[in-house]
Structure 1
Amino acid sequence: MKRNLTLLSIVLALQLALAGLVWSTQAATPAASHAPLLPDVDKATEITLVDPDDGSLTLRRVDGQWQLDDGQKADADTVAQLLDRLAALKESFPVARTEDARARFKVADDHFRRKVILRDGDRPLATLLVGSAPAMGESHVRLADTDPIYRVALPVYDLPVTADHWRAREPKPAEAADTDTGEAEDPPAQAGAASQNSPEGE
């Protein structure tokens, strides 16, 4: 009997210790803030997209108009869609925080799929490293100089570095004006019509 009580006491003590460990772990785990991941997107006057394989592309806002590196006008709607998507990113619960995970999720400083650099003139705003895709339309991302790695709705294919994707579309040439007045034209004179009305045998 005494032995059974001792065993029960040990089991109870272990359960209490385990409960305390679980509680302390939960208390130490930060909750997801859901704050904007890139709060200064609306201040950006320069967006640089970097592809480690295909180079980079920069969009600049000049006098309220977005332009490419060569000064050509960028498509306003396409740039606006990118800015809206970046502004919608939130600080969800991190999927990882360690340096080893950066390479695994392709968000390391020297190993990434895309890099998005935002500037306000010469002032850096943020650098976002975009990595592996956990699902269609999603990517793992990490802000440079921070540890948390998030899963967000930002596919790599929305961040191309090809100028044609961002260049403003030239308006289609206007169709030639319709000059038809609606009046029927006289049919061409048929050969022999005059001779039918002329007296025969003259």
Structure 2
Amino acid sequence: MKKLQFYLSGFLALQLILAAGLFWREQHQQSLQQQREALLAVTPGQLQRLEISAGDDTVSLKKEGDHWLLPELHNLPVDSEKLQSLLDKIADLKAGWPVATSAASHERFEVAEDKFQKRLRFYSGGEKPVAELYVGTSPGFRKVHVRAAGDDAIYAVTLNSYEMPAQANNWLDKQLLAAGDVERITGPDYRLEKREGKWQFAEGEKKLDADKARQLAVALRSLRITKPADEVPEADPVRLQVAGSEGELEYEFMQADDRFFVRRGDREQLFELSRYDYERIADLRNEALVLEEKEEPEQTAEEKPEEEKNAAKS
């Protein structure tokens, strides 16, 4: 009996040891997870300004109301999806185990205060950043070394350096002038309307090439600018009026040598665009939109139906 009690006591002690081990392991993992999440204390929704530096370039992105703008680029809007993607990745950075922990290693990994590849400063309203991140060398595909200001530890994280450009034009919303879903287009010598889902000429009896009309609508819906224009060309504009999901819009397209420009009536700023986008919108005329009617080839005697041949004989 005593031997059985001895075995049971030993078994109970073993269970307690195993339970304690599992508890310690869980607590240790939670502690590591908390450390991993503490790499950078950034809450995207509370940020009011982001400053990115690389070499001699620095760009500021500033939040006004619900919109992020580029103060150094005519206060034009930021590509919101691109910025949100970066902020989400920064907030989700996991530290893991550091690759180095000494101050002497900062320059080698290019995350020092005076030697870095990228530096990101995050502001929540004041003049002092709430967080600062140094981005350095890359240990592999889609990986970079990073260091938070005030911490000597350097980590390898999943991030792309090209996702944080230090030039304002790379943050510009390139679809700023896109027309949305188009229902009506008035060009230099044509008027098109979408009726019951089908494109037609607004007036006249000519048949419209529906494919070309759809291509024009898609070109306006997906219109992309490349950058703000630094000068206004001396050229006669091609004007279009467009109606659709974005309301009534007026466009002016211009060409000067090998440069192409566009302006939309609700914005004073003139922008440059690609030759491709210019040509598929501004170069289109009524003649190209008319559907070419194919003439039926005249049938030879051999191709005529038997009834027609017999009628001709009689």
* TM-score normalised by length of structure 1: 0.69
Contact 2:49/2:61 (<8 A) preserved: yes
**Structure 2 residue ranges without an equivalent (≥5):** 1-30, 186-191, 194-199, 207-314
Residue of structure 2 equivalent to 1:156: 161
**2:160 aligned with 1:139:** no
Q: Note the alpha carbon deviations across 1:9-34, whole angstroms, 9 max, x for none.
A: xxxxxxxxxxxxxxxxxxxxx95732
Deviation at 1:40, TM superposition (A): 2.3
Pairwise CA RMSD:
2.2
Aligned residue number for residue 47 of structure 1: 50
**1:45-104 deviation line (CA, Å, top 9, x unaligned):** 11000001x410010111111001231111111111111111110121100011221111
Match of 2:70 in 1: 68
Q: What pairs up with 1:1-202 in 2 under 5 angstroms?
A: 33-42=35-44, 43-52=46-55, 54-70=56-72, 71-122=75-126, 123-169=128-174, 170-173=176-179, 176=185, 177-178=192-193, 179-180=200-201, 184=205
Contact 1:127 1:144 in 2 (8 A): yes
Other-structure match for 2:219: none
What TM-score, normalized to structure 2?
0.46
Equivalent-residue separation in structure 1 for 2:32 and 2:164 (angstroms): 30
Larger relative contact order (CA 8 Å, sep ≥ 6): 1
Q: Give the Cα–Cα distance (whole angstroms) in 2 for the partners of residues 154 and 132 of structure 1.
A: 11
Measure the CA separation in 1 of the matches of 2:50 and 2:164.
Answer: 11
Which amino acid letter does the alignment assign opposite residue 48 of structure 1?
E
What is the DSSP-based 3-state SS (H/G/I as helix, E as strand, rest coil) of the residue aligned with 2:99?
coil
Give secondary structure in 1 for the equivalent of 2:146: strand
Amino acid at match of 2:80: A
In structure 2, C-alpha distance between the alignment counterparts of 1:68 and 1:183, rounded to whole Å? 47
Structure 1 contact 130–141 (Cα < 8 Å) conserved: yes
Higher strand share: 2
**In 1, Cα distance between the equivalents of 2:158 and 2:202?**
56
Partner of 2:242: none
Shift of 1:161: 1.3
